[in-house]
Copies of this chain bind each other. A is one copy, B any other.
């Protein structure tokens, strides 16, 4: 079973392979979020504890689960929107993406922290920093690929490049604001992230007009 001979270019990692690894890591990170919810098992003594008390006591963890799942989904969408335009890879773009995946895989841990230490300034800053770095890396990914149309089609519209940058700035800006607010109102920080999908659906931040 022979494969058709591919061109002997120096660097050989196609965008398809990066997308496959990214899909895998996103899928696993999103599914591992649920492990933060695992509760003490009913084997010894917990039987008479009221289950609905246990579940209600984790209400904030369910909120975190939904929130983080959505945030990771948004990043996953951005990843595919960027790679829809990125036609080639090089060594630097590859490393930007490895760091993106490193911070994607860290998200279940950050969610665990923020779920176990509710209202803690340190926890909120840790979580926000994870998102801040992710957001900045996505900006870097897009800026590097589109600079002088380095790795995108030469026909790609300038307007679309700038639109992509603008969209990618939403999350870092929100995360930076959260880091400041975490010193004053740590218990309300997580709600701010809900602004991200709302802002990105506004006209100037939408993917297409």
Contacts and interface: CB of A to CB of B under 8 A. Distances in A.
A29 B102 CA distance: 12
Interface string A45-75: 0110011100100000000011001100100
In the complex, which range does the number of interface residues on chain A fall in?
35 or more
A38 interface: yes
A207 to B, nearest CB: 6
Interface string A15-58: 10101110111111111111001110111001100111001000
B88 A13 contact: no
A102 B77 CA distance: 15
Interface stretch (A108-116, A134-142, A174-182, A188-196): A108-116
A80 interface: yes
